Amino acid sequence: MSLWWLSLYIVEALCAFGVVLNAVLYLMHVMSYLYAKIHMNRKPPELMKAELQGVSILKPLKGVDPNLEENLESYFEVDYPEYEIIFCIQDEDDPANEVCKRVMAKHPTIPAQIVGGGKKVGCNPKVNNLMQGYNIMKYNLFWICDAGIRVLPMTLRDHVHKMTDKVALVHAVPYTAHRKGFSSAVEKIYFGTQHARVYINAHMAGIICMTGMSTLIRRDVFDKCTGGLGNLSQYIAEDYFMAKCLSDNGWKCALSSYPALQNSGNYSVRGFVKRMARWTKLRIAMVPFAVLLEPFSECFLAGLLLAMSLHHFLSWNMLVVFLYHVLGWFIADYMFFRALENGHLQISKRDFLVAWFIRETLTPYVIFSALWDPTITWQNSRYRLRCGGRAEEVPSIV
């Protein structure tokens, strides 16, 4: 009899969890949509009148991507009065050197230089690559932007405008530029629906959730809180720990109105899955309890849980509930996607539907892949993550 009552309590608790979870998830849909409509891609009048400071732009580069020159050139075209660009390249023989020189020659009036031979201070290759530029930059505000990011003319001005007295770091919602091909649509829809929804809601709730694709930082505060960029080289997810160190010391992180437009010329569904698996491994190491709930935030699993819950409490048909849930989720994602696109969709409704469905069904495989092999492959090196996010390089086996 006691086992029967225990099983009944478990079912009741699981069904109650399903109802509460879905209520929270739909609230997140509403909040992210409203935030995107009100704050994203906006240029307030005071933006052009704001007091501006000099900015050092640090660009970590390794190898040549088909869109690299286009991406680099966008930094020479930003609408900002005083800035310098420092290209950080580890190897002097890297072909990225020639691309940088070619772009610099087109814009001789913009202060720019190439620094090579990055300093190895830890296992994180990005931090190692940035150290030489970090040591010679001349402005207190520095902006780290990944090689695959293309910026809009107002992006830097908006970042600096968000850097108020209580803010020490400004980051951007990861998104993608429009590129040809179906695999690009899958990636764009992921960053324009599930990822952006979680990212924006975490920001509104004051939860640390950021990527270092486009990050503006106060150096004086940053050095005081972290001891310098080199001290973050023990982590693969150095961007998360940047924000955490600043937040632990009472500083705020702000979100830019302009997203970080990923514009890599190398993309595929397989590459997207590998990238998502790598990010999942990082989250497992840093916030394991949150990762346990992560699968339930996806459409299909949340829908199954809701259908079971409403069938248990109200005897509603599970199939009907599930189908209505999927339809409602799809419509909410589409509206949010349109808001992030500023109403100008560059993919067809059919492509959106197919890519959305494929992206949703890939989630279980991504999570399984992350759990199956916990090591991380990044820039031709392999790393093992320890609890808390610290990493150690795994020696290559010849």
Taking each continuous run of H as one helix and of E as one strand, the counts in the chain are 14, 13
Output phi, psi for 342, to 5 deg. 60, 30
Confidence at residue 397, expressed as pLDDT on a 0 to 100 scale: 47
- Whether 223 is catalytic is no
Confidence at residue 395, expressed as pLDDT on a 0 to 100 scale: 65
Within 13 Å and on the Cβ side, how many CA atoms surround 205?
Answer: 14
DSSP 384: E
CB 26 within 8 A of CB 319: no
Token pair belonging to 299:
């459409």
Q: Pick the catalytic residue: 65, 146, 158, 239?
A: 239
CB 366 within 8 A of CB 274: no
Token pair belonging to 95:
């072909």
* The Cα angle at residue 323 between residues 280 and 197, in degrees rounded to 5: 35
CB 332 within 8 A of CB 29: yes
Q: Is 4 helix (H, G, I), strand (E, B) or coil?
A: helix
Distance CA 290, CA 26 (A): 18
Tens of pLDDT along the chain (398 residues) come to 467 667 778 888 889 999 999 999 999 999 999 999 999 987 777 776 667 889 999 999 988 888 999 999 999 999 999 999 999 998 888 899 999 999 999 999 999 999 986 677 778 888 889 999 999 999 999 999 998 999 999 999 999 999 988 999 999 999 999 888 888 899 999 999 999 999 999 999 988 888 889 999 999 999 999 988 988 888 888 888 899 999 999 999 999 999 999 998 888 888 888 888 888 887 777 777 666 777 888 899 999 999 999 999 999 999 999 999 999 999 999 999 999 988 777 788 888 999 999 999 988 888 888 777 777 776 666 767 666 666 666 665 44
3-state helix, strand, coil in the chain (%, to 5): 55, 15, 30
Q: Measuring CA to CA, which residue among 143, 178, 183 is closest to residue 340?
A: 178
Token pair belonging to 87:
């290209």
CB 377 within 8 A of CB 388: no
Q: Is the dihedral of CA 111, 113, 118, 124 positive or negative?
A: positive
CATH topology of domain 43-172+213-267: Spore Coat Polysaccharide Biosynthesis Protein SpsA; Chain A (3.90.550)
Residue 167, strand partner residues: 252
Query: Rg of the chain's alpha carbons, rounded to an integer?
Result: 22
CATH 3.90.550.10 region(s) of the chain? 43-172+213-267
Confidence at residue 192, expressed as pLDDT on a 0 to 100 scale: 93
Confidence at residue 51, expressed as pLDDT on a 0 to 100 scale: 74
Name the pTM for this structure.
0.90
Distance CA 273, CA 365 (A): 8
Token pair belonging to 30:
């509403």
Token pair belonging to 130:
């940035």
Confidence at residue 190, expressed as pLDDT on a 0 to 100 scale: 93
